[in-house]
Structures are given as C-alpha cells and as structure tokens.
Chain A
Amino acid sequence: MINNSEVDLFPQKIISDKKKKSDKLNLVKAVLLDIFFVFYSIVVVQRAIYLKYILEIRDLPFSWNQIFILFVASIFIGTAWALSRTSLSCKLFGIAKDNKTTKWTVEIFAWFLFDITFIAGWIVTKISIVSIFSGEGLAGAERLFGAMFRPEFGIFDDALFAMIETIYIALIATLISIPPTLILSFFTARNLMKDNKISFTIYYVLRIILNFIRSIEPLIWAIIFSVWVGIGPFAGMIALLVHTIASNAKLYSEAIEGIEEGPVEAISATGANKIQIVWHAVVPQIILPFLSFTIYRWDINVRMATIIGLVGGGGIGTMLMQYQGLARWHEVGLIILMIAFVVWIMDYISAKIREAIY
C-alpha cells in the first residue's frame, strides 16, 4: 500500500505539471474559438451585410462548396492567429502574450465582432420604424385595445372553467414533479456523487440528459406531447411536468451542493452509512429551499400553462386561441384580463408563502 514515489514528489513539481497541462488545453480551446470567430465574421459580413443588405439580393444563393471554402480559410487564419498568441481567444483563456499588438488586435477585433453582430441582427429582424406608425397598423391596434377595454362577459362561465383547468394543470404538474425531482437531485449533486467512478458517471450522464430536456421550452414539449397523447389538458400537464422536473432538479441539486460540509462530516464520523448521512445531515439543510423552489415553480407553471394552451395544451390558452382565430376581440379582451388577474394573484400568494416559511 505504501507509495513512496508519491510522497517524495515535490509539491511545486506537481503544481507546475498541472499548469503546463492546462496551458496546452487552453491553447487548443483558443485555436477552436478563434477559428469560430473568423468563420463567423466572414460569413456575417459576406452574407448578411454584403449580399443581403448592400446588394439587396432576396434569395441568397447557397452552396455547401462555398461554405466549405470559407471554413477552410477560417481554419488557417484562426489557427495562425491563435498560435501567434495575440488573438482574442488567447486573451480570453489567459495565455496571450502581453504586448501592444495583442492589446490592439484584441480591442479592434472585439469591437468589430460586436458591430457586425448588431448590424446583422438589425437586418435579420427587419426592424422598421415605419410599420409601427403606419395608419393601417394604428387602426388595428386601436380596434384591439378598444375591444379589450370593453370585454364581453357572456363567456365568463366558460372562461372561468378554462381558467380553473389551467390552474389545476399547473398544480398537478408541480405536485407530481416533486418525488422524481427529489430523487434526481441527489444523483445530480456533485458533492454526493464525486466519491467513486460509477457514481460520478451516473452524475455526468444524468446532468447531460437533464440539461438537454431543460433546454427545450415547455411550449415545444407541449407540441410534442399533443401529437403523442392527443391535444388537451393531459398533453399540457406532461409538458409542464417534464420541464419542471428538469429545471427543479438543477435548482435542488445546486442547493445540495451549497450545504455546509461540517455537519455532513460530523455525522459521517459517527459511523453512519451513506443513506443515514443524506437523511440526517443533508436533508435537514435543504428542506426549506426545496419547498420554496417548488412553490415558486407552481407560480411559473400557471403562467406557462396559459401559453401552452395556445398550442393545444388545454385550459384558458386554448380558449384564447380559438377566439383570436375568430377575431372576436371583446372575448379575447375578457380572457386576457382574467389571465392577468390570476397571474397577479398567484404571484402574490407564492411570494407570501415563501416569505412565511423562511
């Protein structure tokens, strides 16, 4: 068991070895990032600014060959630039040479990137001051707002039921999410899983899956599930459930990662096993943050449930979509007012509950 070589190594040597390794890794990262920067600038300047805006070509010619040539060119320029250690990425990763050239290239290129991105963004969004103030447009807006301030109360009963459906969708999604979220959060907390290779692999894989799920908006999930289980409240509920689990598992596991280590150490020093340590030292420290996240999430889910209704997730959103399609603005007005009211109430209630438990 005795491993003398490890003992005799000088700490400085270990540290400098680690630094060399991380420098190499940083250079690789810098090269890749510089290639991306160069490629991005060329494509944006050529396609968005030159072809589309200056030459005003509507349908841009597209060929993979051309893109490929641009990409190869970027690889050469980007690599050369990063290896000269004067590039923007070198600066970002802290391996740039400290001289005037670096300072100037970094500054100029950073501004250049910002400017072309802004200009291209402006062109792509088709920003047009004219259409905001056109007579026709203003008339439409006036019709809409006018109707909204004279809401049609004839559909109040239906809207109320749809609203209740929405609140229940949000509530059930939040409640059902709690047990799976709890379990997942323990498996995605670094401090609990880092001890051995198997658990660390589980941690890593779960994190990737959850990140993927979370990066897809509930609205998209609702579209997926309305195809899968059919349009209606159930599709909306599952969509919210999936997204709630993925987002709250992250919040929960971060709370677990932020706990005080001392009590955990003290309990483990008594000879307790892993399950006992989690239950008696970790859980008491995270119960309040968990409760608070969950209540807040219910509040978020009510808002999301209305949106999800727009794509067939049931509830008030679906109703809004129907009346909007028929251009019945007075009914739309009533629905929008009800949504605003309920969201405001929910916001208030959830804030009060969260205040009370802390």
Chain B
Amino acid sequence: MILEIQNLHKVYNNGTHALKGVSFSVKEGEFLVVIGLSGSGKSTLLRSINRLIEPTSGTVRFLGKDITHIKGEELRKIKSQIGMVFQQFNLIKRRSVLSNVINGKLGSLGTFNSIIEKYSDEVYKEAYNCLDIVGIGDKAKVRSDSLSGGQQQRVAIARSLMQNPKLLLADEPVASLDPATSNSIMQYFERINKDFGTTVICNLHFLSLVRRYATRVIALKAGEIIYEGAPSDINEAWFKTIYGEEAEEVEIR
C-alpha cells in the first residue's frame, strides 16, 4: 500500500467541516479518481495527503509512515516525493519554461545553489527529458505565460515529474481546458501511470473522462465517501446519488 488514510477529519478555522471520517487505501500503480460535487471536499482531501493543509484528526500513511502531523525537514522530504498538479497550473509566469521545470527539483537542491541558479548538467538534462515526455522540449526557453493553457499544464506536469514522484496528485487538472486539450492532458497522466508505474490520484468532474482513465473511483459527498469501486459500475442510480436528482450527464470526448 502506497497510501493509507484512516478516519480523516478536517475542520477549517471558520468551522467548515470539510472531511468527515474518510478512510481508503491506494495500491502502488493505481489510477484513482475522486469525484463529487463542488464543495464535497475533493481538494481538501488531496491537500491533506501532501500536507498543504494539516488534517484535524485521523491518519495519513505514506509508504507505511505516518505523515499526518510531521513538520520541518521531515515534511519537506515527504513533499518532495509527492508531485502535485493544479487546476490553475500555478507556474511562475515571468520565468522561462525551463526554470519552472527545474523548480520541481528544489526539494533536493542546496539552498544556495538554487538561489544563484547554479545547476549541474544532470539537472538540465533531466529537465529537458521531462519536457520531452510531455512533448514541449522546443519551448524550454520561452516565457511560461506566453504558452496556451494546455501547454502550461504540460509544463506543470513536467515540473512534478522532475520530483521523480512516487505519487502524483492532480486537483482538477483539466477543469479550465477545452475538451480536446483535456483528453490530451489526461493521456499524459495515463502514460506516466503506465510507463513509470507512478500512482496517480486525480480529481475530475467529467464522468466520461473518469470511465476512460480511472482504474478505481471514489465519490465524495459532503465530506464522506459514498461510493468506492470500478468506474464501469457507476450507473444511472449511482450518478443521481452522487450528483443529485437534478443532474444530467454531459459527454466529453
């Protein structure tokens, strides 16, 4: 088991009880997709895993180690093994694509060298390699905010690949992209999952994407898991329970 989560609760400072006792495990090499309505706690769950936020109670075990409340150096070490891709790409706009990708390596570079930006040839080679995996090696010197949304997300994926992550988290990585680009981005996640055996946990909104890429699905509703199983088992009835009676499925290809 690469990740074990037990009875996880998160109460934000303003009193919002965003996770209410979530438990599940993830095996190495899985492509787990988390679905659920807006506000159901998907982002909160992902952020608790790589500890961008600290859970209120419960445990998160990563590779057998309890990381729920670790701090400092220990926490940074864990973070450097977990990649994360965001809906808004979160690149450093004014910097080149290459330096954005190298940023993914910061956790294992010395502070001083990373400040004067003195990187070894190996780091550069690795960065170009990651860019080639997502097919934009030719854009390395371009300013990252001059790229299209889909290209920016590919840079963000390359940045997380720089970490050699054991686990890759993606928080609605295609929610601000058009359907065609969405599919191509999802294919990169699929490739990374299949070729490198990287475990992927991904929040998604579109069921058609879920069916196509997920090996397993978890559905959250108001902070609780209400469905766990194969994507193909989500039928009309489950769909209505997860998204409400009013919902209607939209297709994207």
A residues apposed to B, CB below 8 Å: 1-4, 6-7, 9, 11-12, 14-15, 260, 262-263, 265-273, 275-276, 279-281, 284-285, 287
Contacts and interface: CB of A to CB of B under 8 A. Distances in A.
13 contacts: A1-B69, A2-B57, A7-B57, A15-B15, A263-B93, A265-B52, A266-B91, A267-B103, A269-B84, A270-B105, A271-B107, A275-B115, A285-B93
A3 B52 contact: no
A8 B140 CA distance: 51
Contacts of B52: 265, 268-269
A265 B15 contact: no
B79 A268 contact: yes
A60 B94 CA distance: 65
Interface string B132-159: 0000000000000000000000001001
Interface of B: 9, 11, 14-17, 50, 52, 56-58, 68-69, 76-84, 86, 88-95, 103-109, 111, 114-115, 156, 159-160, 162-163
Contact of B57 (A4, A269, A272, A287): A4
A270 B56 contact: no
A266 B76 contact: no
A111 to B, nearest CB: 39
Nearest to A279: B115
Given A11-B15, A266-B86, A270-B163, 16 more contacts: A7-B56, A11-B17, A260-B90, A265-B52, A266-B90, A266-B156, A267-B92, A267-B106, A268-B52, A269-B83, A270-B159, A271-B108, A272-B106, A273-B76, A279-B114, A281-B92
A275 to B, nearest CB: 5
Contacts of A276: 106, 109, 111, 114-115
Given A270-B103, A270-B106, A1 B114 contact: no
Contacts of B78: 271
A213 B58 CA distance: 48
Contacts of B159: 266, 270
Contacts of A267: 92, 103, 106
A287 B94 CA distance: 10
A280 B103 contact: yes
Contacts of A287: 94
Contacts of B108: 271
Q: Is the interface of A mostly helix, strand, loop or mixed?
A: helix
A275 B110 CA distance: 11
Contact of B111 (A1, A6, A275): A275
A141 B21 CA distance: 82
Contact of B163 (A9, A271, A280, A284): A271
Contact of A262 (B17, B68, B79, B88): B88
B106 A280 contact: yes
A82 to B, nearest CB: 29
A273 B160 CA distance: 16
Given A262-B88, A268-B52, A273-B76, A1 B115 contact: no
Contact of B77 (A7, A271, A284): A271
Contact of A11 (B16, B103, B162): B16
B69 A263 contact: no
Contacts of A272: 76, 103, 106-107, 114
B85 to A, nearest CB: 9
B86 A7 contact: no
B26 to A, nearest CB: 18
B90 A271 contact: no
Nearest to B99: A280
Contact of B56 (A6, A269, A271): A6
Contacts of B56: 3, 6-7
Nearest to A13: B15
Contacts of A9: 11, 15
